[in-house]
């Protein structure tokens, strides 16, 4: 009797190949290349069969984790705004705003604790920043130095924690380059003069060479830290809004596209400028309070953010 050559035997039908691919992939945990060799087909066909099995409902994948919604939303925002990382903190609309800020601050502390190498930090002041610092473990970070990205408030109280960077440095047993000036001075002339001061120049140079920047975001209303600290008044708010301003960071006002507003405040602010700020490799923004979607959207559009940490309610407004 004449013996048939092995290669003349017809392969399994498509349905059998599809079902066997599914079984070997999901039940036996084989990789696609191994399945292809076992079934005598290419890995591309295996991949195509697995995809077809999902489309036909042969395979149904369920993710049993309530947090998947927030992670999928984060991925969506990263793709939409072309930003490196979006971190969403689950909250409820009835939560106290300070609790939301604390949760956002804690998430930033967790993120920083994952950095294993020594690094330098540039930092601003604000309520969420202060709450983040409270959450930091004294021995958990390898921070070589801290530099203030902006001047301070001229007044230290519980509601306006402008001394947070110095407290941060003390907690980590490192040194802090302080910006010995108000964040916004009273005139353009004073602003230009102070920027020539040696101590301020040094602080600015140290801030520019930070590995990580940590900043808060302020809305342009009476809840703004700049307004509450007396650096701007109602007339300033109206004037800035008329020019298209939607928020502030680093004491600087920006529009819906993240571009700095051209006003006298640009010369009166004592802080790192946007051009140098963008050169800092990791720029983390903490958006803890409510009503900041418009501000965040502007920052994302302007390429100022590498990481944004916010709550799920605000994140949904950005989608």
CATH of the domain at 28: 1.10.10.60
CATH number, domain with residue 137: 3.40.50.1360
Answer yes or no: do 146 and 175 share one domain. yes
pLDDT at 5: 43
Say if 28 falls within a structural domain. yes
In this prediction the pTM is 0.81
- The pLDDT value recorded for residue 10 is 54
Whether residues 116 and 151 share a domain: the answer is yes
Residues 151 and 91 in one domain: yes
User: Residue 16 is part of which domain span?
Assistant: 6-56
In a domain, 226, yes or no: yes
What pLDDT score was predicted for residue 235?
95
Q: What is the pLDDT of residues 147-168, one digit of tens each?
A: 999 998 765 555 666 678 888 8
Predicted pLDDT of residue 27: 87
- Does residue 284 share a domain with residue 164? yes
Q: Are residues 158 and 232 in the same domain?
A: yes
Strand order across the beta sheet in which 212-216 lies: 85-89, 307-311, 282-287, 212-216, 119-123, 143-148, 175-177
Looking at the domain assignment, is residue 77 inside a domain? yes
Burial (Cβ within 10 Å: 0-12, 13-18, ≥19) of residue 115? middle
Shared-domain flag, residues 16 and 75: no
- Is residue 258 within 8 A of residue 304, CB to CB? The reply is yes
Same domain, 13 and 100: no
Q: Vertex 124, ends 123 and 128: CA angle to 5°?
A: 105
Q: Is 96 part of a structural domain of the chain?
A: yes
Q: What is the mean pLDDT of each run of 10 residues along the chain (319 residues)?
A: 44 85 89 90 92 90 75 93 94 88 94 90 91 82 93 65 81 90 94 93 95 94 86 94 96 96 95 96 92 94 95 93
Note whether 172 and 140 are within 8 A (CB): no
- Is the residue at 62 inside a domain? no
Into how many domains does the chain fold? 2
Would 103 be classed as within a structural domain? yes
Residues 191 and 47 in one domain: no
Separation of alpha carbons 276 and 115, rounded Å:
23
Q: Does some domain include residue 63?
A: no
> Do 104 and 179 fall into the same domain?
yes
- Predicted local confidence at residue 274, as pLDDT: 96
Helices 164-172 and 127-135 pack at an angle, to 10 degrees, of: 10
Predicted pLDDT at 64: 67
- Cα–Cα distance for residue pair 175/256, rounded to 1 Å: 36
What's the rounded Cα separation, in Å, for the pair 270 and 247? 17
Q: Is the same domain home to 187 and 40?
A: no
Together in a domain, 94 and 50: no
With respect to residue 1, please indicate whether it lies within any of the assigned structural domains.
Answer: no
**Is residue 39 domain-shared with residue 152, that is, in the same domain?**
no
pLDDT of residue 251: 94
């Amino acid at each position: 009797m004449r013996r048939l050559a092995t290669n003349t035997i017809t392969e399994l039908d498509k349905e059998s190949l599809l079902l066997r691919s599914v079984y070997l992939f999901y039940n036996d945990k084989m990789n696609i290349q191994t399945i292809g060799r076992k079934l005598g087909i290419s890995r591309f066909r295996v991949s195509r069969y697995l995809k077809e099995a999902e489309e036909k409902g042969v395979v149904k994948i369920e993710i049993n984790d309530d947090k998947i919604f927030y992670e999928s939303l984060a991925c969506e925002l990263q793709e939409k705004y072309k930003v490196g990382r979006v971190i969403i903190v689950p909250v409820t609309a009835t939560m106290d705003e300070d609790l939301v800020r604390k949760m956002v601050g804690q998430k930033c502390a967790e993120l920083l604790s994952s950095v294993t190498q020594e690094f330098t930090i540039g930092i601003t002041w604000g309520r969420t920043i202060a709450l983040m610092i409270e959450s930091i473990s004294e021995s958990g970070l390898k921070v070589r130095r801290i530099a203030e990205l902006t001047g301070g408030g001229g007044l230290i109280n519980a509601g306006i924690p402008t001394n947070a960077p110095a407290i941060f440095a003390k907690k980590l047993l490192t040194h802090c380059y302080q910006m010995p000036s108000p964040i916004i001075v009273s005139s353009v002339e004073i602003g230009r003069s102070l920027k020539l001061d040696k101590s301020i120049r040094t602080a600015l140079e140290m801030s520019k060479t930070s590995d990580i920047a940590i900043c808060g975001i302020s809305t342009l209303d009476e809840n703004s830290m700049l307004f509450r600290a007396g650096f701007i008044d109602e007339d300033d708010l109206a004037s800035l809004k008329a020019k298209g301003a939607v928020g502030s960071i680093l004491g600087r006002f920006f529009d819906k596209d993240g571009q700095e507003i051209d006003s006298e405040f640009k010369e009166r602010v004592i802080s790192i400028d946007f051009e140098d700020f963008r050169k800092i490799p990791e720029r983390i923004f903490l958006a803890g309070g409510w009503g900041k979607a418009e501000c965040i959207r502007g920052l994302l559009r302007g390429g100022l953010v590498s990481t944004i940490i916010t709550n799920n309610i605000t994140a949904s407004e950005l989608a």
